[in-house]
Structures are given as C-alpha cells and as structure tokens.
Structure 1
Amino acid sequence: MAYSSQNTVDYFRAYQNYFWRWAERGQVIEFANQKTICYREDLSNILKDLPKTTSLSLGTILLILCACKDDWETLYNVKQTLLDIRYSSMDASSTIDDPDHGLKRQAYQFLCIVNQLPHQYRSEMNRVLLLQSIFDALSVKGYHMGLLPILKEFNSGEMDEDIFGEQAVLKHINVIQDLAPLAAALALFEDVESLVLKQRTGLTALPSPIHIPQPEPVGKDLLAELEIDKKTNTVSQLARRIMAALSIPMYLNSNNEQSLGGISDIANKGTYDKLLLSELAQDDLLLTARLANNEALFLKRETAPNHQVQQLGIIIDSTLKMWGSARVFAVAAALAFRESKEKNQQLKVWSLGGKDLSITALETKKDTEALLEKMDPALHCGEPLVKAFATHAEKNGRYILITSSHFLKDTTAAPYFSKIRDQLNYLITISAGGHLQMFQFSKKQSKLIREAHIDLSDLVSHGYEKKIKQINQADLPAALYEPEFPLYYPTSKIRPNFNNLYMLSNSTAIGVSVDSRLLFWPDKNLGAKELAVQLARGQYCFGEMENAIFIMLIPENNKAIEIYRIDAKTLSYSVTEINVPHKAATDIKFIRPYFYFKSKTYLNIIDPRNGTVIPSNSRINELISRQESASRVFQSQLKRHLNNGYSTINSVKNIHVNAAGIIYSDKKEFLLVNDKFYWKDNQRSTVNWLAAPPQRILKVDHLPFIRFTKFTWKDGSTATMDSRGILHLKSSILHIPEICIIMIVGQPTACWSTDGQISGSTYFTGITRAGKLKPSVFYKKYIQAFIDGLK
C-alpha cells in the first residue's frame, strides 16, 4: 500500500471501543450510543473548506461537531463516554486511576465552552469558521501532507474497503492525539467571549492599550461634531471645501507681515514675494502644480513677538439677499475661518440684520444652528455694519465681511460700506449658485485673491422611501397586481458568490439575482421573498448592524450611489442617494459601521446610518489596510441554504395540453403524485396533443429585466411564463380563477389561485400558512377546470 494511501486509512479508520464509528456502510458517523454525529458527505465538505495546513485528527473534529448541537450532552453523554475510554495497554478491570483523567476533563471543559456559544457561531453554516478559529489559535501542524491529498483519496472511494473494514486497535497515542488539542484550546479560550472574539476578529484576546501621551488641550473639533448630525452634515462638508478652495491660512496670519530682517525657516506656505528663487527655475506647469499642492517652498522671516490676544471678527450679512443656499455658504465660510484662526486670535461672529446685530463665539453645534436660523427681511445691513465697527471693533483686530455678490453694486449700501472700508481686511462675496470671491483690502487698494465655485447639490444626500409602482398596463397576470406575491419565490438566477449574496447573523440570507431582484430567504426550509424587483445594475456590498441590513449599490453608470436600509423585522426599506465619485470603484467592503471603497487612489468612506461621507485620514487608511476580508468558506453551505434540491424552469418554448388532460411544458409534465404537485420529465408519446398555442413576448413596463412569454389558445385562454419560475394560467371562462404554478423540477411544487386558495409544498406556501387546500382538491377544482375549458 502506498504511503499516502496508508495515511488515508489511518486518518479515517475507526477504533475498537472508541467514542465514534462508521455505520451504514460508511455513509454515517455514529457516536458510541448509535446517535448520528454527521454524514460522510457533510464531513467531506467540512474538511474540504478547512485550511490546507490543517491536519488535526478526525476524532478532535468529531468531538467539536458534537458540541455544536444544542442538546449534545443528552444526545451523546459525552462526559461519561470520554471518562470510560480504555486503550489496549490499560487493564479495563484495573482500579488504578486513569492517567489521562485530567486531560479528558480539560477536553470536556472546552467542549462545554463550544456548546455555550450563541447559536449563530456554532450553527451548521458557521461550523467551518469555528474549526478554523480553533485550529488557527493552536497553530497545529501534524501530517506534513495536510488534509487535501488524503481527502481526495477518501472521496474517490478506492480505500473504502480498508477504511470501513476491521476497526483498528485503540492505542494511547490515539487518545492523546484526539484530546490534547482540545485541552490546549482550553488554555487559549477560557470563556465563551474569547472564542467569539476569535471568530469575529481573528484575535484570541484584545490587545493591551498602548500608553499614548496626551497632547495639549486643543479646541473642540466642531466640524467633526457637525458631520455626525444629518441636519448639519452639509454645512460641515461645505466648510472643508471652502478651506481648501480659498487657502485661508495663508492670509490670516498678520505677524508674518512684520519682519525683523532675518530668515528663520523655510515653509510651504507664504506670499509670492517670499518664494524661493530656485522655485522660479521650474517650468510654468510644474511651478503651478507645486503651488496648487502646497509643495512650493517659501522663506519664513523672523516675526515680532506678539502675545497680545487679537480679535478675529467675522461679519455675516443676514438680510434678504443672503437667504436660501447663500446662507448655508456664509455659515460654512465662517466655520472655515474659525478653523484657520491663530492661537492668539479671539473669534467673534456678528450676524447683521437691517437694524440689529447679534454676536456669538461659534464654539458649539448649537451656535452653528442658531447662526443658520438668523434671517432678516431687510434689503441690506449697512446701518448695523457701521454700528458694529464703531462699538465692537478693536484697533489691531482682523475683520472679514461675508455678504451677497450684489452688496458692492447696491447704491443704498455703498455709503455705509465706505465708512468701514479701511477697517476691513477681507471681503467674501457669495452667490446663491455657489460662486465665491475673496477680496483683500489694504490702504486704498483692493484685489481679488481667490475665486471658487462649489456645487452645493453634490454634498446633499437625497433620501426617499421606495414605494410600490402603480401598474398601468392591462391584461397582465393577476399575480402582478398583488401588493405582495402570495407564494415564496423559487431560487432563480442566483450566482453563489460573495459579491451578490450575504449570510446574516440569524442564519437568514439576502442577495441580488442576475435579473436585478433583491431577494430575502427567511429560512433554509422556505423560498425567497422579493423585496425589490428592479435594482440598478452595478456592484453590491452588504452589511448589518442595529437591527438593520444595509446594501451599498455602486451603479454601472455615473448615477448616485444608493444605500439601502432594510428593517430586519418588517423588511421595509428606504434608500439614500449619495453623490460621490465612484468611477472604477475597487476594494468594496463593509467594516462596521462604515462602507469603504477605492475610486482610483482615493479612499471613500460612507456611514450608511445617515448617508454621510466621512473624511479619510492616515489612521483610517492604516485600519483598512490591516483589515482582512471575511472568510469565504461558506459557499457550499450558502448554496444549500438557498436551494432545497430543485432546479428552476425560467423559460419554455411550448405549452401543451393532451387529449388525456395533462399539461405539458416542453419535456416536462405537471402531475399529481401521492397528493403532491410535481413537474416531471415527459417520457410519453407526444401524439394526441391539442393544438399548441402560438407564443409572443410580453413586455411589462415596470419589470424590464423579467421576461414574459405568453401563449394564447383559440378560445382565448392563456398561459404566461414568468422568467422568475412561475407559470400563470388564465381561462377564457370567467368564473374559473386564474392560477399560478411554481416551475421547479426535483421537488414538490405549489400553486395559488386568485380567489386566495393555495396548495402544495410548504417550502413555497409557508410552514404556518392556514387554510391550505389538499393538492388533490386544488387540482380538481382549479387546474382540471382550466383543462376542461380548453377541451
């Protein structure tokens, strides 16, 4: 026997008088008390999904699988079975203490921890992740070949006779190999929380906090606070854009204007007269790029010591021409200047009406909201502007007026402006369309130093509730007019990958089909619910938190990103549209609580709870780079969860009814077998059919991605094939209700009639559905009546 073949036999062969054994000719693994642990196929799927380097003994894996069951101790009596194990070198009648007694107890204690895990962490879908977490923490490497070679030989069946034949003699080393890893795992996972932590994060324990010296107290990050609230998020983002567009810090520092003659440093900000001569050697395009990216170098002159607190006054025009979006721009500009003020500057914000003025420090979110609310119906603010400078201005203060672009052209405001012009340092004019101009005043001169245009609509999230679309077309199948389809849908046109499917923590599933439907599977024993019938084509990413399911949809075209928020209980949902650049989006992922994706080289971060865009920084970038994607070992389990062993028929070429009264669809016939509905392969002769009805493609306006093929008999009866796997039958006899039949092969199917009756498999009708008709009754009352009408 080859070396690899002997390894296969040694790994899978059972031992005499041990806690497990093969049964039913190698198709089932039983516990010592003849209770089933798992099936051969199930075991093969689990071993296949484990890491290639994993080679712990089969007994260790089987004990963990036992502990995953809810009633494991009642079912298997594991504790006593382990204590009663006797290997060949032990005298079964000996009264000497078992030398492995302590090892057995430690192994059992760890199995108890596994059993105490919340159900979702040890469910059928998550057993592989549990085994991976344990083996990864142990870092165990046994057989140098790993599991894949012996698993391949095991699945071939060539070694079945040797594996399932005579059981091997149990030796001490076999017991140690099975129990020692469990005892070692107990030392790593002392409680349930540590094991859950390993499954969720890949860590056996939280890292110890690093002592970081606390920086000197700084001002409150008001912009970050405003970003959290959806009401003020836009003004915060707008302030950041204004800071970047106007390069505010370059012009607010007055100390640098008083040089003492020496050069103290080289900086990347300054006025153009202090630009290094070497920068002028660059070509025009490169110099422009260096200036725009703050890479150009400037001489920094020695500054006069100035420890006197200086007033920075921001004057906001609150009159009629500054209402609407201009008001948002004005407050955002004030926030931008607040962020750029020097340490020795004391900020005061004046809001001017037609007669009155108010002063605030603009330190809190409440101050910002109050400033946004101040509006005066006067045509200009000339009188309080003069009063503000006469009463509140200081000699060495710096003052900025934020007003409408019409202010300088207003002849009634001009006399007032001329009185305060010499005290004003900067003027910001704003139009309602988002055009900003920044003027600098010095002595008798003024010059335009910055100009920018910012589209406010790009920063605003548009949220709306999805509503059922009104169907205006006539003569469609009756089921299409129902608010909710009365049966569960078959799993149809699903590609089992992690881009369009997601397994939720409560063992339910959600996904997007090839024909752009959003489907939800509440249980592996039920079909799907259709939450949305027409999603945009694109890339999808799923996440869940706070009793809600989130989906980020990045469309193929240049439309806005959509964030779907689905209530986990009611399955109702709302959609938020976010305008951020997403061309060539990559590395899309959800890491609680944010969605992340890269567009070119820029990292985009979106909070799905309120639709806000979070600014990226080096700390967040480092976090993303270290974050590993979720394990993808559940594809086979997910596929079994979505499909109960059937195939869905999505299209047909012909619909027939023969003289014996049987409905045919291509090579399938609809039968009643043992009081169950089936579509079965048609093995009969194709003669004696009634005339086949002609077909045409039916276009449904609100379902552009669903294909409908309509067949019409001479008497006016119709059969409409829905590409979602549904056949709609409508008789020309008015008193016969319309019928829907689920089109699947391999399992019993179900039917519905427009008078509210359902019948057939609980997979499609629902387990708790009351008032169901027996299939034999339903067939006679509805389907036979439809067939008789044709004949």
Structure 2
Amino acid sequence: MSQLHDMTVAYFQAAKDYFWQWAEEGEVIEWIKDGGTICYKTELLHDLSRINNHLPPPGPLLLVIAIGKPAPGPQAIQALLHQYVEDLFGDAIKGPHVIDVSREIEAEEMKVVITDFLALLRPLPGRYWKGADRELLLNTLFEHVETFLQGETAKEMLSICRRGAYDYVIAHGSSKDPLSTLKTDIGILQQILQRYPDTAALEEKLNAIVSPAPPVPALIEIPDDLPKPAQAENLLQILAEDNQTAPLALLTQRLIAALHLPMHTKGYSQTSFGGVSDITNKGNFDRLLLSELAHDNETLMVRLANNEALYLRREELPDNEPGQRFILVDKSIKLWGTPHLLEMAAALACTIDNKQHAEILPFALLGDRYEPMDLSSKAEIIASMQELSPALNSAKALSLFTETHILKGQQEYFLITGDELFHSVTFQQSFAALRRTDGFVITVNTDCQIQLYRYTAGHRKLLNTAKISMEMPKVRAKRTAVQRVHSAVDLPEFLKNHPLPLFIPYQLTNLNQSDSYFSKFAGSIAITKHRQLFFWPQKRKGARVITSNFPDAHGYFFGFDTEYLFILFQAKGAERLSLYQFKRSTLELTSIDVEHHESVGLIRRNGIMDVAFKPGTSSYGSFYVSFIGIGKVPNIVAVNTDSGEMTREPNVTIDMLKAMKDQYRENEQRHWQSFNTINSLKHLGINQKGNILVNKHELVFTGQDVQLVKAFNVGLHNSIHNTEQDVRLPDTRQTLSNYRWPDGSQAWFDPYRHMLHLRSSDKLVPEITLVLLVNQPTACWASDGATCGASYFRPDDQGNIEVLEPNVFHHVYIKPFIDIIQRHGTPAVI
C-alpha cells in the first residue's frame, strides 16, 4: 500500500481491545463490552466530511456521536468507560499486594475527565445532534484539536475509506497499545474542557456563531440626562446598604460621573445605505449640498467655519442592532488591594452605564487563564471580587481571550488593568491583537488615578483622566430588609410567597443521578441545572422549592439522619469542601463551615474521587471523602455533619469506602409521577368560547378537575414574541417572559416551575397561577389563597385556605379575568 493508504488504515483502525471496535465486516462500530452499536460507517464518514479541513481522532468523535443517541445514555456510557479504565489499568489498581498509587491517581483522573466531558454535553438540547446544528457542534468541539491529517490529505483518506477497499484490514484491531491510545484521547477531551469548562460556555460559543445573543435586560436603567445614577438605584443601593460592599458602590458612582463612558457602537447613520431624511449643518464634506459648492471659495470657507453650510443627513433605520460589551478585569497579584477595588468599580460602572443596552460579558483575567464573571447581583459581585490570581501578570490570559473571541461589528471591549502592567512589553505583545479592534482601556494605580483610553483601528486617544477619592461618607443609610430586592422587581404574587403555595411538577428522571438523592425514610432532594434545590417530602406530592440559587458544583453527595438531609460538595473553582444542612420539618437550609485539617491542604479542582456517608449512632453522621490534593496526593478524611470538623482517616482505604457506600445504600426504586409539561410559550390567547389557550391547548374546568386539553381550530393570528419582555428574578440566573394584553393585563411564563402567572388590569381581580400540564389534571391558585385541582400540587398543611371545586374557581377567578380582556377588544391574543 502507498503511504496515504497506510495512513488511512492506521487512522480508522481501532486499537486491540479498545473501548470501541468494528463489526459486521467494517460496516458498524460498536462498544467492546456489550456489543451495542455506536454508529454505522456511513454516519461516521458523513460526520468527518462535515468537519472543516481536518480529521480529529476517532475515539473522542465517536464518544460525541454516542452521547447524542437515545441509548445507552450518558449514565450507562460513563459506567462503561469507568469500568474500561479500571480493567485497562488492571492489577496496578486491583492487585492484592502492591498498589501503584501514581497509576491509581492517573486512572481516577481519567475517569474525572470522562465524567466532566459527559456532563459538558449531556444538558445540550437534542437539536445539536441533527442537521446543521450537529455540524456546528462537531466543528466547535474539534476546531482547535491539533492533527496533521488536514486539507487534501484528509479528503483523500475519506475517499479511500468510502470506497471500501480496505474494510477487511480496518475491521481487525491494530497492534497499537490501548492505554497509549486512551491517554491520547483523554488529552483531546481535556483540550475541549479547557476551552469549554461547562455547558453554558459551550452554548455561548455555539449561539455566538449562529447569531449574537439578544441583550440581557438591564437591571438598572440610567437616564441619559443624569451625570451619575441616583443612590436609590436598585443594585447600587443594595451594595451601599452592606458594609462589605458599600465602598464599591460609592466608587462606582464616582467613576460613572468621572469617566463619562461614550456611546461606542456604530449606528446605522454612519453606513452608506438608506435615503436622505433631513438637512443639517454638520456632516462630512462629501454630503454638502450642491448649492453650497456654487459659492466662491471665500464665502464657502466662512460658511464652513461658522457652521452655516448645509449637509445631507442619511436616513437611519428605526433601531440599531444590539451589541456586546466584553469587560476584561486583570486579577494578577500586583493589582491586589486598592487597585483591585478600583478595577471592580470600573467594571461595575461599565456594566451599569450601558446607554446602548449592549449585552454585558464580564471576564476575569487570572494569570494563565480567564473565567466568566457575573455582576448582576450582590452575591455574584462578592464572589467575583474574591477571584484573584497570584500570577505577576495576565498577559497569557489576554492572549487566550483574543484567540477565542475575534471581535467584530457591534462588539466592543473594556480592558481594565494596572498602568505599569499595561505598558509592559509582555502585556503589550498580548494586547497587539486586540488593539486593532475598536474598544477601550481603563488603567488604575495605587494613587487612585484612573485613565480612560479609546482605541480605534489601532490608534489610541486619551478620553478622560481622574483621581478618585477613597474617603467614605460619615453618614450611612440604614440597612433595609431583604424584601426590598423583591419590591424593586415587579413579580407575580405567587413568587412572593415562601414557601410557594403550590408544589412543583418536576421529574427526577430529568435530573442527573449524581445531583439527586432518594430515601424512603427522608424523602428526596435534587439540584437542577438551573441551581434550584427541590425537596419531595413524600411520594404522592410535588416538589418544594427550597432555594433558586444553590452553589454550583461538579457533583453533590448526600446523607440523612432522623431530622436533617446533608449535602456535601466542592463548589466550582473552590479548593475546599462545602456542607449544607437541610431541616426537613421546617424547610430550613443552613451552611456549615468545614474546618479543613491543617495537614490535609487544599483540594484540586474537581478533585473528589469518592464519598460515602455513615450515619451516627443517635443523630449526626459523617462524610468520608477520598480526594486528590494540590500536590496530587490522595487523602481520605471524615467531615462531621454537625460541627463541620474535618479529621484525617489514614486507616480508611478506598475499598473500605466502597464497602461503606454499599452498606448504607438504599435499593428501593424511585416511583414518581410522570408529567407532560409545557416548556416553551408560543401562543397565548382567549378563544371564542371564552377559554384560555396556551399554545395549542385549551384550559377546561369541570366539576371534578381542571385540564389543558388539545384544542382544534385555534385561530391565533399574532405571535407573542413581538411583545415579550424578560424579568430577571432577584439573586438568581432565572428570567421570566412577561407579556401584556391590549387592556394592560399581564402574563408571566415561568419555565423553571412550569407555571403561568396571570394579573388582571383590574386590581380588584386576584392574581392567578396555573400549573402547565398537558392532558392531565392540573391545579390553580389565586392570590387570595383559594386553590383548585389535583391534590398532587397542594400542600396538606393549608390551614384555613379554601379548596374550591374547579368550576367554582373558574366562575370566581378565571371568568372575571377573561371578561375584562374581552371588553377591551378582540382578538384577545398576545
């Protein structure tokens, strides 16, 4: 065979006894363990032909293809690959005599990478494994995977394989070492995870390629005619009322007033399309009226000098395309202290002073990497301020950002760093790629001096310079209750109750098994992908929402006693353990400080290997945790769930940990009611019979129950997307879509709780909340406390709250709501 043919065979052959293998004489690829099909040869070749200009290693590509199939599913794939890693390392891990600790650590690290990669792709919508979205996903994942199989060589290899001349040779395993091949494939997965550490980062990249995301609704609207935001503004006032964040709020106000951030994004009036809308006395010389050119030279010069000359003004389109604002904050060690506080105030000022309503995308430059930040709430701002890097500069992080984000069009950047660091040679080399695009640079120093530069096509201009006073005012406003956060946002009455008046129809089958826990004695608890903490107290009832902002982690570990449920985890980016107690009787959630043993040290990122919970003899128990420390040293510790005290357990082995897990694991299956819920709102209206229509389902009340049933001849003419407005829930990442009828009545679509909240324009009519189930008995709630419908959603401890018959509830609440809308005019559609 020629060299090209040899390369084709070597690329498509599987290593002997590898996790995937060819079958059916080279027409099918299947798992080595159970022989289940991964994909067909034609499917693999089709996917490879859609990857731009190169061939990635087949192992990681087959793993992506397998995740997109309904069977065997991510959990089964994870278990299969974990078992394969253990079998591959063999006696080095399971030997009865000598255990090679380094190889055991290597095997555990491989399993962690596999778990993280599956967790990265599992939450993606199913469309990313079909059609053009599938092509986009594959190219995004393998875009930066280095391979010499590129260009015409890759095309020729695909052509050779497609002809099938070497199918017999390819179908037999090669002599390649499976362990070496696995290490190579794991390295590819690590490269992808470094670029996309979580699903949100991957989806952001995918959406940015297809079309820029719509701008996030501004939490604080700054009037254009004010030099700085008023103290009463929501977010700044919340920061000002806390001693921990008050200096940041004050500095932010002073910076907004001092810097005068300009409108940067170009408007349509600067482009060459459109007609002429008006005549003005300002403009470019090429737009002078022809009558002006008829003057002699002296007269024309006088008219130009006195702004008397007339110009044509081009017609502007109604709205400018919303842009994106990237805020890059240098967190290196030389900027710790006062400069860092000024940097965060400048970043917050750039977030608030957002006249063009651009999408805000803040990032922290942390030495050799960059991480996204969230500046939308006090809790997120405090967390962002705690992110610091011991690196001397963040030039490498800036280079990684510019490699990942190529700014163009309606995108701008605000780079915030130290004055000396910015002018260093290393930093300027990293900044070279970014300076060619339009944006701003803000520099700070220890003397509280701030300078604002504007970069346009590589040219720099100093816009403003100021020296900011760090002195705090002597008189402080009094602290107010947390309820002020809710009063500042117009929310449905249903969401202002704690606990919520109705249970939630959420399915445990939709949750990651590692993020949920079931016990026939303690009930069930789960953390959703939206960081909601749900609790099911009993089988035949829905879920209680305990919190909508639970800390994010790679995985959670659970235990219980007679009174509490316990949750142990390592938050993303943290190097310590976190512990929460949940009291089932009062629904109280409490954080317990874990006192790390001084000899244990810090934990590597996602370094937990295994956890077992052992109940106490009376009440409190302990978590036994096996993890890898910063120095790649394995440790096993015990964490007391009462005190949070950590102790080293040198006598506990990994085998004992597994035996402990088996001893206290419950084997009862989970029997939870299954629901068909409405997950997106496309149409909302009122039909001729006077019933509410949600998408293609009609809300019907009878003497026994209330249901959303299939409707015929819907006849809706308008789309709700023209009137949609997002409402951000305080201290969460959740947004509700808000709509209005012509009379002023409102509706909120709540996808996180699968509910629809209704508010009439008549203030005498109570607000209504509907649980959006399809073809199943559902429930309703009114703001005066009345309920109706399925008992699954109603708490047993309702006190004096009256449960009405569904037809009575319709007559008292639903019909008045609909009548007011219909009296205003038809069709009653939004």
Structures share fold, TM-score greater than 0.5: no
Bucket of the pairwise TM-score, normalised by the shorter protein: 0.3 to 0.5
Larger Rg: 1
Structure-2-length-normalised TM-score? 0.36
